[in-house]
Amino acid sequence: MTNLDQIGFILSIDKDWQNLVEKCQSIDSNIKNMQTRLTFTIGQMNKEIGNRHIIPAYQVEEEQSKEESPLPQQGESPRKKPVNLVKQAQVLAPVYSTISERFQICKFLGKGKFSDVYQAQDKQSKIIVALKVIPKATIQKYGMEKQLANEIKIQGYLDHPNILKLFGYFQEWSKVVLILEYATDGELFKLLKKQPKKRFSEQTVSGYIRQIIEGIGYMHSKNIIHRDIKPENILITHSLLKIADMGLSTYNPANQVRQSFCGTVDYMSPEIAAGRDYDHTVDLWAIGILAFELCTGETPFYEKKKEDTMNKIIYSGFEFPNFISEECKNFVRALVQKDPKKRLSIFQIMQHSWIQKYEKESTIFNRDLLNSMVKLLK
């Protein structure tokens, strides 16, 4: 009898054993895929493809900007910023490659407001990726050069398990193509709508929020604000959440205040809705709204008219359904605070009892248990 057979016999009385095995096998497969993908990224995407180059996301030109690259203060030595800027003109640069040269399109994944997304396989490495295809005519029509350059520079710079990886990008004559990590299970929003009651259990949500906090905490540590956290911008791969869509993200050195009006209305903080200065704490507000929606199936301030939603966000409170636990209510209230200074910090969120309560028993995010089982199954 093999070690795996012995383990299966011993644990066969546990009704969750089969589910655990399946989860571990999925994670094991995902780890191997990530290892292969990393090798591919380092070894292939920096090389010539035929006689043309695919430009890695991190090979971007530095551009001076009053907002993004302030002059050093007196006594401070100049230093290179960790996030470089892609020049807007570079987004509309000449042809570097074509999709058909490098990739085999597998299937159409979805259509966004400005782009189409496809599952594709790299012909050389056989790695499965997602291709986000944006027509240059659309970029020019809507003046998206700056937003797209922003998405490329930030998403290409970030490297975290809970953030969707941008491997690189290239251009055809009529398109810009982003080469992205493929998320096997799609959007969190679609998964939410598939639930029998259009909501998740609190245990599931707690595990999801913990992962999002880890990703957002990493972004904040790099002085980057996401500014558009919502279920549509969170993807899933074998229960591992991936924060995506950095088009509205911004580099915010030294915790400077921002003034740009942006984001999705239902997740917009009061300070953005009211046109006031804001900082990274707008992401913490959005995480509180996200936790509410994942637990209840709806956002707390929703109204049919956007103006009414914004007024409620600025001036009104909200109520919880009766089935929500007191711990969950406390967690959401601690983030959905109209005064940004009163919102929990990243550290406080991770220490909150509602997050800690499910950490060890959660089958979604119990790392130690799953890692141990993966080793046993190898």
Q: How much is the average pLDDT of 20-44?
A: 53
Task: Look at the block and give the residue holding tokens 């180059």.
Answer: 53
**Residues 6+ away with beta carbon under 8 Å from 97:** 49, 50, 52, 53, 54, 170, 171, 172
Whether 64 has a pLDDT exceeding 80, the answer reads no
pLDDT at residue 190, as a whole number: 95
Query: Mean pLDDT score of the chain, rounded to an integer?
Result: 78
Element (H, E) at 19: helix 17-43
Q: Compute the distance between CA of residue 83 and CA of residue 101 in angstroms, rounded to an integer.
A: 30
Q: How much is the average pLDDT of 292-320?
A: 95
User: Using one digit for the tens of pLDDT, what is the confidence trace for 198-217?
Assistant: 999 999 999 999 999 999 99
Confidence tier at 52 by pLDDT (50, 70, 90): very low
User: Using one digit for the tens of pLDDT, what is the confidence trace for 228-241?
Assistant: 999 999 999 988 99
Confidence tier at 266 by pLDDT (50, 70, 90): very high
Whether 372 has a pLDDT exceeding 70, the answer reads no
Cα separations in angstroms, 341 against 32, 120, 213: 42, 45, 18
User: Using one digit for the tens of pLDDT, what is the confidence trace for 276-286?
Assistant: 999 999 999 99
Closest CA to 262 of 294, 231, 221, 230: 230
Domains along the chain? 40-70+79-181 (3.30.200.20), 188-373 (1.10.510.10)
**Residues 6+ away with beta carbon under 8 Å from 251:** 68, 81, 83, 154, 223, 224
**Active-site position among 228, 279, 308, 368:** 228
Q: Binding site for ATP, residues?
A: 113, 132, 181-183, 232-233, 245
pLDDT at residue 177, as a whole number: 94
- pTM exceeds cut of 0.85: no
Rg, C-alpha atoms of the chain: 22
Q: How much is the average pLDDT of 312-319?
A: 94
Q: Compute the distance between CA of residue 69 and CA of residue 63 in angstroms, rounded to an integer.
A: 8
Q: Binding site, residues?
A: 113, 132, 181-183, 232-233, 245
CA 207 to chain centre: 15
Q: What angle do CA 63, 67, 71 make, to 5 degrees?
A: 75
**Range with lowest mean pLDDT among 26-30, 140-144, 156-160, 200-204:** 26-30
Q: CB of 370 within 8 A of CB of 24? A: yes
Q: How much is the average pLDDT of 257-268?
A: 70
**Residues 6+ away with beta carbon under 8 Å from 92:** 136, 139, 140, 145, 171, 176
Catalytic: 28? no
Regarding predicted confidence, which is higher, 97 or 139?
139
Count other Cβ atoms within 10 Å, centred on residue 146: 13
- Partners of 170 in beta bridges: 177
Which phi and psi (to 5°) does residue 239 adopt? 70, 5
